[in-house]
C-alpha cells in the first residue's frame, strides 16, 4: 500500500473573515495572516484533504497531523483505523472511498458575499456585470458580523438591483434570539431562500423562524453534534464534511434530509482546490439539483493542482513516506 502525507500552505487573496470578530463571538479563521494550511493524504494514488478550519473545527491542524500519522502507521501494518477527529475522518474516507462512476455535474456554486457591507455596496456594478454573464439567481451573504442597519441596507439594495435574486443568509449562530427577531422582522421574507443558524442554540433559531416566517437551515449543529429537529420553517441541512467528519455520518444526514423532505446543501470550509474538487463530486452525488456552497476558491491566491489534476508534490511538505519513515 502506497501511503503519503503532505502539509500545504496556501496564500489567500484576503483574510477569510476580515473584520468579523465580535465581542463574545469566536475569532474568525486566519484573522491575522492570510494563509490557509492543511494536509493532503495519498493512499494508492487516491487523495483526501485534512484541513481543520480555525475557529470552527474542534481540532487543530497539529492534532489532525498527529492522528493522521498514527492512522498511516496502522495502515502500513495492516491494521484497521477509526479516526476520531472530523477532518481526519473526512480525509481518510475520501482517500479510501470507492467512488461511484461520474454523475451529472451539480449546478454552479452559490456565489458567496462576505465583507463589510459598504465595500460590497461599492462593488455592485462589477457584481452586476459578473452575475449577468453567469445568470446568477441565488447568492449567499454572511450576516451578523457588522452593524445591523448596514447589513439590512445591503440586502435591500441587492433585492432592488437584482429583482430575480434569492438570498441565502448565514449568521453562523451570531445573534441572540432577540437580535435575530429584530433583524428578521425587517427582512423581505419573500426574497430569502433561507437563513442559516440565526442563533447558536437551535431552539432559539426555531423560535425566530416561527415568529418571523423566515425559512431557516441547520449548519453548525450538524458539525458539532448538537440537537435539532424538524420544524415547519426548516428548509435545508447544510453539510460541511470537513467539520461533520466521516462520510458515513454525512450520508446519514443526507438520508435524513430526504426522509424529512428537506434540501441538502454540500458546503465548503475553505479547503484547497483539491478538497473543493472532492466536495463537488460529493455534491453531485448527494444533491445533484442543489447549488452547493463551494464558492470559496476565490480566496485562494494559488492552487495545489497541476494541469493534470494531481497535486504538485514539489510545492508540498512531505511528512510521511510509503516506507513509514518520516522526514
Catalytic residues, which ones?
142, 240
Residue 94 in contact with residue 38, Cβ under 8 Å? no
% helix, strand, coil for the chain, step of 5:
40, 20, 40
The crossing angle, in degrees rounded to 10, of helices 148-161 and 177-184 is: 30
Cell of 36: 490557509
Q: Where are the alpha helices (DSSP H) in 225-300?
A: 241-244, 247-260, 273-286
Paired sense of beta strands 35-43 and 3-11, if any: antiparallel
Number of H helices and number of E strands within the chain? 11, 11
The helix (run of H) or strand (run of E) holding residue 129 is helix 124-134
Residues in Cβ contact with 121 at an 8 Å cutoff, skipping those fewer than 6 apart: 153, 154, 157
The helix (run of H) or strand (run of E) holding residue 3 is strand 3-11
Residue 64 in contact with residue 39, Cβ under 8 Å? yes
Amino acid at each position: 500500500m502506497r501511503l503519503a502525507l503532505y502539509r500545504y500552505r496556501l496564500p489567500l487573496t484576503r483574510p477569510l473573515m476580515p473584520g468579523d470578530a465580535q465581542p463574545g463571538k469566536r475569532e474568525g479563521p486566519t484573522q491575522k495572516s492570510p494563509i490557509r494550511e492543511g494536509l493532503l493524504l495519498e493512499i494508492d494514488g487516491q487523495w483526501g484533504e485534512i484541513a481543520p478550519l480555525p475557529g470552527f473545527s474542534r481540532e487543530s491542524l497539529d492534532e489532525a497531523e498527529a492522528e493522521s500519522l498514527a492512522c498511516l502507521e496502522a495502515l502500513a501494518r495492516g491494521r484497521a483505523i477509526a479516526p476520531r477527529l472530523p477532518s481526519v475522518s473526512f480525509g481518510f474516507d475520501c482517500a479510501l472511498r470507492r467512488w461511484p462512476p461520474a454523475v451529472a455535474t451539480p449546478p454552479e456554486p452559490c456565489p458567496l458575499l462576505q465583507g463589510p457591507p459598504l465595500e460590497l455596496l461599492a462593488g455592485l456594478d462589477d457584481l452586476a456585470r459578473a452575475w449577468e454573464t453567469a445568470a446568477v439567481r441565488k447568492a449567499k451573504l454572511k450576516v451578523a458580523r457588522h452593524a445591523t442597519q448596514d447589513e439590512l441596507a445591503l440586502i435591500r439594495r441587492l433585492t432592488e438591483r437584482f429583482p430575480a435574486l434569492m438570498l441565502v443568509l448565514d449568521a453562523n449562530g451570531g445573534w441572540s434570539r432577540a437580535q435575530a427577531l429584530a433583524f428578521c422582522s425587517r427582512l423581505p421574507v419573500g426574497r430569502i431562500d433561507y437563513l442559516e443558524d440565526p442563533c447558536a442554540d437551535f431552539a432559539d433559531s426555531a423560535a425566530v423562524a416561527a415568529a418571523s416566517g423566515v425559512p431557516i437551515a441547520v449548519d453548525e449543529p450538524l458539525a458539532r453534534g448538537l440537537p435539532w429537529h424538524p420544524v415547519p420553517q426548516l428548509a435545508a441541512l447544510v453539510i460541511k464534511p470537513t467539520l461533520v467528519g466521516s462520510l458515513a455520518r454525512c450520508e446519514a444526514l443526507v438520508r435524513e434530509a430526504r426522509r424529512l423532505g428537506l434540501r441538502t446543501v454540500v458546503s465548503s470550509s475553505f479547503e484547497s482546490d483539491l478538497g473543493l474538487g472532492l466536495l463537488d463530486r460529493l455534491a453531485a452525488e448527494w444533491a445533484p439539483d442543489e447549488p452547493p456552497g463551494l464558492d470559496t476558491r476565490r480566496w485562494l491566491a494559488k492552487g495545489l493542482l497541476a494541469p493534470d489534476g494531481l497535486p504538485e508534490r514539489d510545492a508540498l511538505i512531505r511528512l510521511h513516506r510509503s516506507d513509514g519513515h518520516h522526514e
